[in-house]
Amino acid sequence: MKKSPLFERFRKNLPSLISAFLLAVVVWVLAVTNTDPVQKRNFGRPVPIEIFGLNSALVITSDVPEQISLSLSAPVSTWESELTSSNVIRAVADLSGLGPGTHSVPVNLQINAQPVKVESYSPDVIDIEIEEIYSESFTIDLIQPSSPAIGYEAGSPTLSQETATVNGPASLVDQVVGVQALLDISQAKDDIDTNLELKAFDENGLTVTGVTIFPADVNVKMDITQRGGYRTVSVKVVSSGQVASGYDLTAISYDPLVVTVFSTNPDLVNELPGFIETQPLNLNNASENMVVSLPLNLPAGMTVVGESTIKVSVTISPIQGSRTLTNLSVEIIGLDPNLSAQLSPEGVDIILSGPLPTLDELIPGNVRIFIDLTGYEEGIYQLEPSREINIQGVLVQSLLPATIEVEILPLAENPE
């Protein structure tokens, strides 16, 4: 059969057509590459490793990497758009069907962006150790290493429950030999009602970590009672005399506030009024703070458990008052030698406040009132005087008048 001229022409031109098509593809690829080039970058945001599929009766006991680092190739437009979204890349490790033991589990990537090429990522495989979860019950052991305050005794403790369950990896639960709660009753004088944290311990008495205890704590109640012949009473500080005139007794503090007393005769202790007085604190003519130790005024046949003296701190403050000094002269300083000044008025009143003992000793010579006329020329001015007081603790409340009229004139020529 004879071929048509059209077919012959197409056959002759086919290589040219293919070359033209390939050239067009190359030109298109070059154009796209030049306008949106592909870049290889390290992915900047952390990608956490998601682990799923683990049987609920198992637990991971090895350290597992928390995230991966990866390098990608993608067009610039993809880097600036799709790859900026959160959760665009996920790293997952599937533990479905795995039992106890050590396993090498691949980390698979899920990328919700195109076109993206994964150049590399690490880790791509993680080693995971898996163990069974064990549970074991133990009787709670209450550890009580201390004793209550002297003169007191502790009753039998009552726990809200007697046992606790330890849960965790089999290898750790196997190390546990008991569960403890620590109760510290040192210096206790009142009944105890508290919650204590439970801890699992091994055969060496060391705490086993990595396990959970249910319940996490236990409530403990214990009666603390005072022994016969002992009694805790308040301390009452007794004082005598008056502080110096012009002073106030502002505070008395002491330590301890209560003491425990003992007598072989319980009736003697029971007859106490609930407090013990100190020997008198002498305040006669006191004018400053003081710290003294006072003995207790104990009845015969009675002793104090522990320190038998009371440390007393006394605060004494001067009484605050006020005083007025009248018609004090005003001093002029800094005036040009060729000028003279006239003041109106020439004297002022000043109201002072401070401790009464200090004010009682104050004299006009302790106060200086002056006006500095440095740089002033002829004229009439209303100026505020300055003041200086050479006694500490005294404050100026008012100056009357607050301003003085100052007239500056040329110095009169000498008549001679």
Give the CATH number, domain containing residue 370: 2.170.120.30
Residue 350 contacts residue 367 (beta carbons within 8 Å):
yes
Buried b (16+ CB within 10 A) or exposed e, 335-370: bbeeeebebeeeebebebebbbbbbeebeeeebbbe
In a domain, residue 21? The reply is no
Average pLDDT over every residue of 322-333:
90
Q: How far is it, in rounded angstroms, from Cα 262 to Cα 276?
A: 12
CA angle 300, 305, 307 (to 5 degrees): 100
- The domain boundary, picked from 318, 338, 356, lies at 318
**Overall size of the chain counted in residues:** 416
Confidence of residue 3 (pLDDT cuts 50, 70, 90): low
Q: Is residue 70 part of a domain?
A: yes
Same domain, 364 and 307: no
CA–CA separation, 165 and 216 (whole Å) = 9
Instruction: Identify whether residues 102 and 152 lie together within a single domain.
Output: no
Same domain, yes or no: 44 and 111: yes
The overall average pLDDT reported for the chain is 87
Contact 181, 197 (CB under 8 A): yes
Q: How confident is the model at residue 415 (pLDDT cuts 50, 70, 90)?
A: very low
Residue that is last in its domain, among 103, 123, 143? 123
- Highest-confidence segment of 22-36, 332-346, 402-416: 332-346
Q: Decide if 214 is inside a domain.
A: yes
Position 307 scores a pLDDT of 82
Q: Which of 293-302, 312-321, 356-365 has the lowest mean pLDDT?
A: 356-365
> 130-175 pLDDT, tens per residue?
999 999 999 999 998 888 887 788 889 999 999 999 999 999 999 9
Residues 324 and 339 in one domain: yes
Does 348 lie in the same domain as 277? no
Domain check: are 182 and 238 in the same one?
Answer: no
Residue 187 vs residue 205, higher pLDDT: 205
Q: What is the pLDDT of residue 137?
A: 94
259 vs 261: CA distance, rounded Å? 6
Domain shared by 272 and 214, yes or no = no
Supply the range of the domain harboring residue 183. Answer: 133-226
Same domain (yes/no): 267, 294 = yes
Q: Tell me, yes or no, whether 47 lies in a domain.
A: yes
Q: pLDDT over 90 for what percent of the chain?
A: 49
Number of domains composing the chain: 4
For residue 32, what pLDDT is reported? 47
Q: How confident is the model at residue 300 (pLDDT cuts 50, 70, 90)?
A: confident
Q: What is the pTM of this model?
A: 0.50
Last residue of a domain, one of 123, 147, 176: 123
Residue 152, amino acid: Y
